[in-house]
């Protein structure tokens, strides 16, 4: 018994709901087959766990097919019952697989930190001005990734941001650590302003189980000159950090520009988008002056490894098989950059 195009379309939509997406259970499909006349399953049943946009789209599709009155219900009953039986088998197989398979651990946690207000006894030579927008970029970054079910492991701000060492006890085994504050170069060494002092990164701050990606939303976080590379080579040797995202020279920190936090997070959750490219595009697309110069620096035990880190994706960080291992404490750090 051949089906006409409308009947084929109706059955195809049911197959998507019952097999591809599992919104309709085998019991739902059998109930539908016993209905006395053609039905829109969204009116006759209650498909579970379906987003409102998708529900509207499917419901409209069924209504359009039924409005043409070309569907012969007696021709569809047997195919729908067969579909219900297929869905039952698929459901059993899924349950057996769930019982036998332990989920792989995911490294998807993130942590954010920012300093916007500084004590006046901070420094005799340089008292950093307040950064009222310091919280915006990290908060927007975290807010976007929370929608992707990426757990927020730590938030540290102003007087509660003390590095080292207390902040780092909360960010072990995380994917990305995002920091926003003032940054400066002092004798070819990078320093970030905390509430009451400067912090100069060292291997002890991160260790082998810290973040894989370090985002320095500060001025002077990245530079491609040898003295600066020498500093980071020493500061990150043997640590977990495999990708450094920052800016070369000053970075604009105003209300429009700090939207880079959201843009960065939104970019990295896109399929096949590298974290490096996500950062570069985010900074360029939101800079209110166009003067911020983003840089992504891959780190590796070899030059090839460092280059590979520039292709690292958020999906890779969440995969035990693809997650990069820590840098060797015995081998000089190699760098590759994209800017």
Q: Please report, for the domain that includes residue 234, its CATH number.
A: 3.40.50
Domains in the chain: how many in total? Answer: 2
The pLDDT of residue 162: 63
Q: Are residues 43 and 125 in the same domain?
A: no
Beta strands (DSSP E) in the chain are 110-114, 152-157, 176-180, 183-186, 189-193, 198-199, 213-217, 243-247, 294-300, 334-338
Q: Are residues 74 and 186 in the same domain?
A: no
In angstroms, the Cα distances linking 107 to 65, 71, 166, 311 are 45, 50, 21, 17
Q: Are residues 197 and 65 in the same domain?
A: no
Whole-angstrom Cα distance, residue 325 to residue 130? 38
Residue with tokens 């079910």: 149
Q: Are residues 237 and 176 in the same domain?
A: yes
The answer to whether the beta carbons of residues 109 and 150 sit under 8 Å apart is: yes
Residue 231 lies in a domain: yes
Residue 105 lies in a domain: no
Q: Are residues 158 and 258 in the same domain?
A: yes
What tokens appear for 150 in the block? 């990426």
Residue 241 lies in a domain: yes
Q: Are residues 56 and 83 in the same domain?
A: yes
Q: Pick the last residue of a domain from 100, 123, 151.
A: 100
The pLDDT of residue 168: 56
Helix (H, G, I), strand (E, B) or coil at 162: coil
Q: Pick the last residue of a domain from 100, 123, 144.
A: 100
The answer to whether the beta carbons of residues 90 and 26 sit under 8 Å apart is: no
CA angle 335, 270, 106 (to 5 degrees): 75
Question: Tens place of pLDDT for every residue, the chain, 339 residues?
Answer: 688 989 888 988 888 888 766 788 888 888 888 889 998 988 877 776 777 777 888 888 889 999 989 999 999 889 888 888 888 877 776 665 554 444 434 557 888 888 887 776 555 555 677 778 888 898 899 989 988 888 888 787 777 676 554 555 556 778 999 999 988 888 888 988 887 788 888 888 888 888 999 999 998 888 777 777 889 889 999 999 999 999 988 888 888 888 899 999 999 988 889 999 999 999 999 888 878 889 999 999 999 999 999 999 998 888 777 888 999 988 999 998 888
Residue with tokens 């840098």: 327
What tokens appear for 36 in the block? 């006395």
Q: Are residues 237 and 94 in the same domain?
A: no
Whole-angstrom Cα distance, residue 154 to residue 112? 6
The answer to whether the beta carbons of residues 111 and 153 sit under 8 Å apart is: yes
The neighbouring-strand residues paired with 213 are 176, 243
Residue 55 lies in a domain: yes
| 240-260 as b/e: b if 16+ CB within 10 A | bbbbbbbbbeebbbeeebbbb
The answer to whether the beta carbons of residues 294 and 267 sit under 8 Å apart is: no
The pLDDT of residue 275: 95
The neighbouring-strand residues paired with 294 are 247
Q: Pick the last residue of a domain from 72, 100, 128.
A: 100
Q: Are residues 193 and 323 in the same domain?
A: yes
Whole-angstrom Cα distance, residue 219 to residue 181? 8
Residue with tokens 């920091």: 179
Give residue 293's domain range. 110-338
Nearest alpha-carbon partner for 257 in 128, 137, 113: 137
Q: End-to-end CA distance of the chain, in Å?
A: 62
Residue 254 lies in a domain: yes
Q: Are residues 129 and 155 in the same domain?
A: yes
Q: Are residues 30 and 165 in the same domain?
A: no
Helix (H, G, I), strand (E, B) or coil at 222: strand
The pLDDT of residue 101: 45
Whole-model pTM?
A: 0.67
Residue 261 lies in a domain: yes
Q: Are residues 221 and 288 in the same domain?
A: yes
Q: Are residues 256 and 188 in the same domain?
A: yes
């Amino acid at each position: 018994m051949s089906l006409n195009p409308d009947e084929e379309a109706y059955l195809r939509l049911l197959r998507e709901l019952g097999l591809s997406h599992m919104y309709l259970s085998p019991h739902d499909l059998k109930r539908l087959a016993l209905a006395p006349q053609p039905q829109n399953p969204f009116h006759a049943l209650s498909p579970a766990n379906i987003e409102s946009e998708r529900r509207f789209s499917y419901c409209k599709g069924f209504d359009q097919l039924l409005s043409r009155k070309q569907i012969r219900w007696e021709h569809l009953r047997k195919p729908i019952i067969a579909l219900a039986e297929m869905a039952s088998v698929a459901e059993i197989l899924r349950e057996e697989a769930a019982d036998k398979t332990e989920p792989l651990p995911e490294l998807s946690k993130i942590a954010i930190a920012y300093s916007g207000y500084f004590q006046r006894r901070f420094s005799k030579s340089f008292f950093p001005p307040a950064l009222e927008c310091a919280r915006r970029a990290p908060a927007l970054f975290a807010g976007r990734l929370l929608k992707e079910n990426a757990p927020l492991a730590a938030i540290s701000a102003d007087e509660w941001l003390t590095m080292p060492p207390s902040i780092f006890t909360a960010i072990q085994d995380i994917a990305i650590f995002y920091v926003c504050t003032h940054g400066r170069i002092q004798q070819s060494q990078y320093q970030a302003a905390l509430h009451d002092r400067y912090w100069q990164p060292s291997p002890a701050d991160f260790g082998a189980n810290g973040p894989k990606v370090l985002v320095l939303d500060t001025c002077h976080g990245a530079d491609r000159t040898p003295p600066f590379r020498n500093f980071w080579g020493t500061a990150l040797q043997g640590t977990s950090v495999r990708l450094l995202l920052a800016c070369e020279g000053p970075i604009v920190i105003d209300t429009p520009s700090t939207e880079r936090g959201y843009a960065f997070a939104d970019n990295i959750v896109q399929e096949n988008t590298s974290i490096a490219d996500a950062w570069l595009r985010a900074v360029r697309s939101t800079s209110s002056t166009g003067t911020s110069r983003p840089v992504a620096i891959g780190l590796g035990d070899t030059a090839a490894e460092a280059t590979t880190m520039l292709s690292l994706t958020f999906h890779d960080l969440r995969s035990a098989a693809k997650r990069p291992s820590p840098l060797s404490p015995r081998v000089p750090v190699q760098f590759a950059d994209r800017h």
